[in-house]
Amino acid sequence: MELAVVGAGYVGLVTSVCLSEIGHHVTCIELDKSKVDKLKKGISPIYEPGLTELMMKNVNLGRLSFTTNYLEGFKNKDVIYIAVGTPENEDGSANLSYVDDVAKIIAKNVKRDAIVVTKSTVPVGTNNRIQTIINNHKPSYISIEVVSNPEFLREGSAIYDSFHGDRIVIGANSEKAAKLIEEINKPFNIPIYITGIRSAEMIKYASNAFLATKISFINEIANICERVDADVEQVAYGMGLDHRIGSHFLNAGIGYGGSCFPKDTKALIQIAGNVAYDFELLQGVVNVNKKQQRILLDKLYDRFGNLKGKKIALLGLAFKPNTDDMREAPSISISSELVKAGAIVYAYDPIAIDNAKQILDSSIHFVYNIEQAIGGADAALILTEWDEIKNMDFNLINTMKYPLLIDGRNCIKLKDIKPYQIEYHSIGRSSVKNIKSNNSEVVCQVGESK
């Protein structure tokens, strides 16, 4: 089928590539000429494992192309996907200006009947709003129907999720339109659930909000575990054995970040507020997440008191591994507080340094390996669980001024730390203090690990 996708950001590019991979002919429309020029050369603007290879495969097969021209992009297209950004407004609501603009452009430039599919994450009622905008600007002889088809992609595994997802949700007011979008997606071999258009919009927000709630819940449990000498990993494992709860998203740490959970939880609170409903539970989830990002700072203050002049190494800057996305990454607030406290901050990330330089304080020293980051450091903080960081050579701890490692992702097993002369703290687990005392004897304190 002939398809167009408006937007070559994270959602738009992944959608374009994966739709072309299952056999459709896709034109991805992006107004940023420099981005399109790079895409035509096989350079992806985002880091996503497997994306570049799949993109070039389908470009070479003639199933995927990129353009800045709407008329060219819409020509002979049966279906047009909207995949532009919906950034957060100051009040937490979604900014729909890009979506509105695309709706007007589609209405004024499409020359045949078509279906418009909204991939962008939008509040309940937005697809009806898009339909109204299109109806107000399109020629009377053209029929355009709007369908909601939210994405459920995890950054870092978006290609895998596209072909192995749990479900594809299609929300429509027209059975004919829903069936056509169902046919487009059948080659993915993923269960398809057809709903009303507003229910599809709500499913996206409700899903992300629920996962964010699980994360904040286990983080609160972790904070209690530290105070009652319990191990949050053992607690989470025991909880997860109950099939009603499940084990996913029960990993304690310094909270969620990225482009979805922070924005979508706030947007859902705003959606509830718009209908005079106080979503107290979700507001609590947001507050817990903000507090959780300070946990590592509190551990530093407990250890040193004053951080002025202390060299602090940050290991990992992206909000999660296998992505260069810095949106709402805990490293932003943590590094900012460290700089304000007078600490000397050295930062390392395998992929996200270029993006981090545009966001983090200019006084931060960005380095290109773990050795440079922790050499001579008073403490090191693990903020992203990259494999390289999880599997680091702990002998490097000997190069630190003081062997203090604080793990914000619980990504290192306590038993792996025990043989080394180190002071190690994590979230909701026992600390390891295996350091030489003044009489040169080794003092070892470690709790049980799963």
Residue 97: Cβ within 10 Å count: 13
Tell me the domains of the chain and their CATH numbers. 2-195 (3.40.50.720), 204-291 (1.10.1040.10), 293-443 (3.40.50.720)
- Token pair for 59: 């470009």
Determine whether 444 is an active site residue.
no
Question: pLDDT at position 440, please?
Answer: 38
Annotated binding-site members for substrate? 152-155, 204, 249-253, 257, 320
Which among 80, 84, 60 has a CA at the least distance from the CA of 184?
Answer: 80
Phi and psi, residue 231, nearest 5°: -110, 115
Catalytic hit among 18, 260, 411, 444? 260
- As a whole number of Å, the CA-based R_g of the chain is 24
Strands of 114-118's sheet, edge to edge?
64-67, 25-29, 2-6, 79-82, 114-118, 144-148, 168-172, 192-195
pLDDT value, residue 259:
85
- Contact between 335 and 315 (Cβ < 8 Å): no
At residue 210, the pLDDT reads: 97
- Residue-wise burial string across 163-179, b where 16 or more C-beta atoms lie within 10 A, e elsewhere: eebeebbbbbbeeebbe
Annotated binding site for NAD(+): 35, 86, 121, 155, 263, 327
Known binding-site residue numbers: 35, 86, 121, 152-155, 204, 249-253, 257, 263, 320, 327
Per-residue buried b or exposed e for 253-271, using 16+ beta carbons within 10 Å of the residue's own CB: bbbbbbbbbbbbbbbbbbb
Residues pairing with 39 in the sheet: none
Q: Whole-angstrom Cα distance, residue 374 to residue 377?
A: 5
From the centroid of its chain, how far is CA 424?
27
Q: Give 104's contacts (C-beta < 8 A, 6+ positions apart).
A: 133, 134, 137
pLDDT in tens, the chain (450 residues): 999 999 999 999 999 999 999 999 999 999 999 999 999 999 999 999 999 999 999 999 999 999 999 999 999 999 999 999 999 888 888 899 999 999 999 999 999 999 999 999 999 999 999 999 999 999 999 999 999 999 999 999 999 999 999 999 999 999 999 999 999 999 999 999 999 999 999 999 999 999 999 999 999 999 999 999 999 999 999 999 999 999 999 999 999 999 899 999 999 999 999 999 999 999 999 999 999 989 999 999 999 999 999 999 999 999 999 999 999 999 999 999 999 999 999 999 999 999 999 999 999 999 999 999 999 999 999 999 999 999 999 999 999 999 999 999 999 999 999 899 999 999 999 999 987 644 433 344 444 433
What is the reported pTM?
Answer: 0.91
User: Contact at 8 Å (CB) between 1 and 78?
Assistant: yes
- Check residue 436 and give its pLDDT: 67
